[in-house]
Amino acid sequence: MNVKNILTNLEAKHPGEKEYLQAVHEVLESIQTIYDENPQYEAAKIIERLVEPDRILTFRISWMDDEGNVQVNLGHRIQFNNAIGPYKGGIRLHPSVNLSILKFLGFEQIFKNALTTLPMGGAKGGSDFNPKGKSDAEIMRFCQAFMLELWRVIGPSQDVPAGDIGTGAREIGFMYGMYKKLQFENTGVFTGKGLNWGGSLIRPEATGFGATYFTNEMLSTNKDTFKGKTVSVSGFGNVAWGVAQKVTELGGKVVTISGPDGYIYDVKGLDAKKINYLLTLRSSNNDIVSPYAEVFPEAKFFAGKKPWEVAVDIAMPCATQNELNGEDAKLLVKNGVKYVIEVSNMGCTPEAINLFHKNRLPFAPGKAANAGGVGVSGLEMSQNAMKLNWPKEEVDAKLHQIMSSIHAACSKYGTESDGYINYVKGANIAGFIKVADAMLDQGVI
């Protein structure tokens, strides 16, 4: 495979889609050797078929705000690949949303979903709608207008959307309500549903808990534990909350959280009361973390800065793509970081990842570390199909199992001659082989 040629061609076809090209680049680099050793992949043009989505639906969304003004947004659903199961992936509502971002997320989702061991293909959707500062009624009208287009292409065996940045339980509720009305059936389309109407226990916590279980596996591989370790976390949403909760439970000390306004350094670490306060902060709908330092005076707020300048043992970016760059990585390494776990999707830039690899630091990519979220979504789909609910302990045990098997797959395909586990390589190869072999079995379609 000539990675450079493939990327040049893709760039010419999709100019300016930098996040998408970045995600493709990372995967192609990791799988190059395996691809070349197995000529059946090249013969079936697996790469050329895998890098282009099966289809993209783009649509206009018109809705009315509380003042009676008509608002117009753009919506998309990228159905990327369904070789191993129905299309599956979240819906991102954020002003930055464009095709490049959704295509990178959809592409990553193919391999992530394959890693979970569950039968789910890859998809992603979203809109440039900004939920911040909107009233519940506005959110409802937007979600309903969004569904007036999306409902036609989704279904429990076709495409199962879920939450992502900007889409939480409230939005899923409004979208599901409209879907049900239009489709005239009550089936398990959407995951992250409310607990009393088909949702799974542990789904809200699953991404953060799963990433922490994965980190624990990385630690035990090095005969290490969370006990007494300092951890920097970015973001203050659902994922950051889950990480803070589980890391604290396992004896680690989370010393930072962050928002678009800056970061909080809490030398004492987050405790139950502070973790609970994150929920209040979240529901204030302002997208700022500075009030934390007013409520807990032992904490300090650093305006306009990122938490990666704090010296810690473990760094866990939990906010958004490319939030940790080469300069941030240099600071972390200089300050003696021992593990970096990307919990956000593509949270680290290629420069940052290269530096971690060069320093032989255990680094987990998002598609492995954050797969617990979609993993429990898969378990929600199973429960819906069986029309029953599993108890919390059962879902959590299955989540544990999923994260250990992803860690094992990363070790199997990513261990290098000196014993260092290259988790990026391991995750990409394991995910790729599963999807590529399914595509081979199913013929040229």
- Written as one letter, the residue type at 314 is I
- Listed in sequence order, the residues at least 6 apart from 27 whose beta carbon sits closer than 8 Å to its beta carbon are 107, 111, 428, 432
Closest separation between CB of residue 284 and ligand 2IT, Å? 23
User: CA angle 17-21-24, nearest 5°?
Assistant: 145
Using the minimum distance from each CB to ligand 2IT, give the nearer residue, 216 or 370.
370
Using the minimum distance from each CB to ligand 2IT, give the nearer residue, 110 or 332.
110
Handedness of CA 402, 206, 190, 102 (dihedral sign): negative
Using the minimum distance from each CB to ligand 2IT, give the nearer residue, 53 or 90.
90
Residue linked to tokens 């940790």: 324
**Cα(121)–Cα(30) distance, integer angstroms:** 20
**Cα(406)–Cα(342) distance, integer angstroms:** 14
Per DSSP, the three-state class of 309 is helix
Using the minimum distance from each CB to ligand 2IT, give the nearer residue, 75 or 90.
90
Closest separation between CB of residue 121 and ligand 2IT, Å? 11
- Listed in sequence order, the residues at least 6 apart from 444 whose beta carbon sits closer than 8 Å to its beta carbon are 44
The residue whose Cβ lies closest to ligand 2IT is 90
Closest separation between CB of residue 370 and ligand 2IT, Å? 6
Q: Are the C-beta atoms of residues 23 and 367 closer than 8 Å to each other?
A: no
Closest separation between CB of residue 88 and ligand 2IT, Å? 5
C-alpha distances (whole Å) from 249 to each of 179, 288, 307 are: 38, 26, 22
Give burial (CB, 10 Å; 0-12/13-18/19+) of 410: buried
**Cα(338)–Cα(440) distance, integer angstroms:** 40
Closest separation between CB of residue 398 and ligand 2IT, Å? 15
Catalytic residue, candidates 88, 103, 112, 124:
124
Q: Can you give the binding site for ligand 2IT, defined by CB under 6 A?
A: 88-90, 112, 162, 164, 191, 345, 373-374, 377
Using the minimum distance from each CB to ligand 2IT, give the nearer residue, 162 or 189.
162
Decide if 134 is catalytic. no
The full length of the chain comes to 445
Q: Are the C-beta atoms of residues 143 and 182 closer than 8 Å to each other?
A: no
Using the minimum distance from each CB to ligand 2IT, give the nearer residue, 364 or 374.
374
Closest separation between CB of residue 44 and ligand 2IT, Å? 27
**Cα(322)–Cα(345) distance, integer angstroms:** 9
Active site residue ranges: 124
